[in-house]
Amino acid sequence: MIKLVDLKAEYEEIKEEVNKAITEVIESSRFLNGEKTKSFSAGFAAYCGAKHAVGTSSGTSAISLALNASGIGPGDDVITTPFTFIATVEAIYDAGATPVFVDADKETANIDPKLVERAITKNTKAILPVHLYGRISGMDELMEIAEKHNLSLIEDSAQAHGSDYNGKKSPVLETASYSFYPGKTLGAYGDAGAIVTNNSDVFEKASMLLDHGRRQGEKYTHRELGHNFRMDEIQAAVLGVKLRRLDSWIERRRRHALHYNKVLRADIGKPSEKAIRSQGMYVYVITAKNRDALVAKLKENNVEAVVHYPVPLHLQPALAELGYKKGDLPEAERLASEVLSLPLYPQISEGQIGRVAELVNKHANG
């Protein structure tokens, strides 16, 4: 069986160090608001070249907190992409706001900046691009639009650890939220996330809201009604060990992705070499006209391939109240019918990649 991601193989590489870090937390019996969370958050801010980071309980809570801490809430509209994981939009609702969808761009699969301006109304307060698969959205154009219309720009970077933009690693332009869900490029051993920001007010406010609306050292003064959205110390300990290896693991992901590019048939839709060299390579995504049949063939041959994502959010039953229908956002709908993620993780072997490619080459209609 070749799995999409093999977390056991990753654990084998860091077993001693990670066991020691977890044991330190248990021995200290400090499970929340401790040194591990503080030092991981500082380390991750530095990794992203940003001023501040604060650990959260998940990527989803990080997005909703980032919105609230930026002053977005009930009555506000947030422009986002329909071609993402449901959590992006759940977080908009959790923050009390309403999503407005703008179609994806054919080339990047991210929100199409050319279509954003016409979706802005007096209720629009923020743009929330998602850097899907680790491809950074068209941030230069989005920043220009956000500035012109006085909107917040909050990045869903849940898939974009270590991706470059304009030659800079993981740049956070204003405020970004990250997920450390176990299967992500940097994953915890449970749920965790982070808000990374260059805005000190957003940092202060998010830090307060995620800990029951209190500031550090003020145990029973609750300045606002907040949440329990804290990162826990065991997750921070695991993440601290993994952060030290993140760049070398991303290098291995890139090497494997380049190998896929070499051994896959020329007519199959695949990422460009330039894209691979600039992304954290969370997933390796191809396109195939007979995608569903291809997934079935791979499964028959013990290869796990996964679709990120088969149904665009504007067509999800849970969001029927928004009133979208089939055909409204055609690029997102086409992408959803053709994309396929192949097994990719630092410890995969060239032999395994060769086996997957052989099956894809035999069964895909490009």
Ligand X SMILES: *Cc1c(COP(=O)(O)O)cnc(C)c1O
Q: Binding to ligand X by residue 59, rule CB under 6 A?
A: yes
Distance, CA of 283 to CA of 160 (rounded, Å): 10
Considering the complex, what minimum distance in angstroms separates the CB of residue 345 from ligand X? 16
Name which position in 70, 84, 175, 207 contacts ligand X (CB under 6 A): 84
How would DSSP label each residue in 23-41? HHHHHHT--BSSHHHHHHH
Residue with nearest beta carbon to ligand X: 59
Name which position in 88, 198, 279, 341 contacts ligand X (CB under 6 A): 88
Give the residues across from 80 on adjacent strands: 101, 128
Residue 339 CB partners (closer than 8 Å, separation 6+): 109, 285, 286, 287, 291, 307, 308
Residue with tokens 């920043």: 143
**Total binding residues for ligand X by CB under 6 A?**
15
Q: Binding to ligand X by residue 128, rule CB under 6 A?
A: no
Nearer to ligand X, 85 or 345 (CB): 85
Cα–Cα separations (whole angstroms), residue 176 to 129, 195, 214, 225, 361: 10, 6, 22, 23, 38
Q: Binding to ligand X by residue 187, rule CB under 6 A?
A: no
Considering the complex, what minimum distance in angstroms separates the CB of residue 193 from ligand X? 5
Name which position in 99, 113, 187, 193 contacts ligand X (CB under 6 A): 193
Binding piece for ligand X, criterion CB under 6 A, among 32-40, 54-62, 163-171, 196-204:
54-62
110 burial (CB, 10 Å; 0-12 / 13-18 / 19+) is: buried
Q: Binding to ligand X by residue 156, rule CB under 6 A?
A: yes
Considering the complex, what minimum distance in angstroms separates the CB of residue 285 from ligand X? 13
Q: Binding to ligand X by residue 340, rule CB under 6 A?
A: no
Residue 80, by phi and psi: left (phi above 0), alpha (psi -120 to 50) or beta? beta
Distance, CA of 189 to CA of 238 (rounded, Å): 7
Q: Binding to ligand X by residue 181, rule CB under 6 A?
A: yes
Considering the complex, what minimum distance in angstroms separates the CB of residue 29 from ligand X? 26
Distance, CA of 210 to CA of 230 (rounded, Å): 6
- Chain residues binding ligand X by CB under 6 A are 58-60, 84-85, 87-88, 130, 156, 158-159, 179, 181, 191, 193
